[in-house]
Amino acid sequence: MSQHRHPGAPGRAGAVPTLPDLPEATVARLPEYLRALHNLADSGHETVSSEGLANAAGVNSAKLRKDLSHLGSYGTRGVGYDVALLIEQIESVLGLTQCRSVALVGVGNLGHALAGYDGFATRGFRIAALFDADPARVGEEINGLVVRHVDELSRVAAEQLISIGVIATPARAAQAVADQLVAVGVTSILNFAPCVLSVPEGVDVRKVDLAIELQILSFHEHRKASLTALPGTAGSALTALPGGLAATDTQEAIGT
């Protein structure tokens, strides 16, 4: 995760036109709200209540209101939130008003899929360049982009501003790639390699490890299995457990 520092605490000066350092948990949920809002806009909704948006995003309505309150009062009491306005605001806060360029390093199994994933383009990201260290892969064309050798990274980065670097290499190559990315000025990295990256301060790294997700699920499976083996209530003993049961961030079943 990213670590940042609190700069000196300056007193609040008047209104809030700039970014009032959002809580990290809120930032992590804003993209989910944004996706839900786009869905609502597509289906013709012009306004939405906190309850409605919270349901669509899979969170508690109080949490949603608090999250949104952090970026200002863009709702209307008694009515709800204007969908278009809220989209605009969240995109502004997330810095999505500009299309950001992504450099993808490692065009193996996973990288190949990422290069072809249209979920990036549809949400304001453009894959600007593909790299790989394997000469056999250099020159291959994926989705209209030619794979270049990773050593060309600095040259390519000089041509176009790279906003985010994505690492989809094997673990043993990830740190070297990260170093190269940092060297060309990339300060945000999304790491799919199963390893810890060491980066200088000011560089944000987010990690996605598919196996870890499975292992976390495995734990819950294991726990549930050992609970059913316990005495007494067979069947769905789960529903009888106290509220603290699944403390994961999994969404609850949305009541109808």
Q: How far apart are CA 148 and CA 124, in angstroms?
A: 23
> Which residues partner with 100 through β-bridges?
125
Query: Would you say 77 or 172 has its CB closer to DNA?
Result: 77
Find the binder of a copy of itself among 86, 93, 129, 157 (CB under 8 A): 93
Q: Does 82 bind DNA (CB under 7 A)?
A: no
Asked if 57 and 63 touch (Cβ cutoff 8 Å), the reply is: no
Helix (H, G, I), strand (E, B) or coil at 140: coil
Query: Residue 169 binds which one of DNA, a copy of itself, none, with CB within 5 to 8 A depending on kind?
Result: none
The burial class, CB within 10 Å (0-12 / 13-18 / 19+), for 181 is: buried
Q: Does 11 bind a copy of itself (CB under 8 A)?
A: no
Element (H, E) at 114: helix 109-116
Asked if 228 and 234 touch (Cβ cutoff 8 Å), the reply is: yes
Interacting positions 27-66 with DNA (CB under 7 A): 48-51, 59-63, 65-66
Q: Backbone phi, then psi, for 187, in 5-degree steps?
A: -120, 10
Contacts of 240 (CB under 8 A, 6+ apart): 233
Q: Does 149 bind DNA (CB under 7 A)?
A: no
Question: Could you tell me the two tokens for 248?
Answer: 């994961």
Find the binder of DNA among 36, 40, 57, 75 (CB under 7 A): 75
Query: Would you say 23 or 151 has its CB closer to a copy of itself?
Result: 23
Find the binder of DNA among 24, 209, 213, 221 (CB under 7 A): 24
Q: Does 101 bind DNA (CB under 7 A)?
A: no
124 secondary structure, DSSP code: T
Instruction: Give the shortest CB-29-to-DNA separation in angstroms.
Output: 7
Stretch binding a copy of itself (CB under 8 A), from 75-83, 131-139, 144-152, 248-256: 248-256
String marking each residue 216-245 x if it binds DNA according to CB under 7 A: ----------------------------x-
String marking each residue 14-43 x if it binds a copy of itself according to CB under 8 A: -xxxxx-xxxx--xx-xxx-xxx-xx-xx-
Instruction: Give the shortest CB-82-to-DNA separation in angstroms.
Output: 10
Place of tokens 């304001």: 124
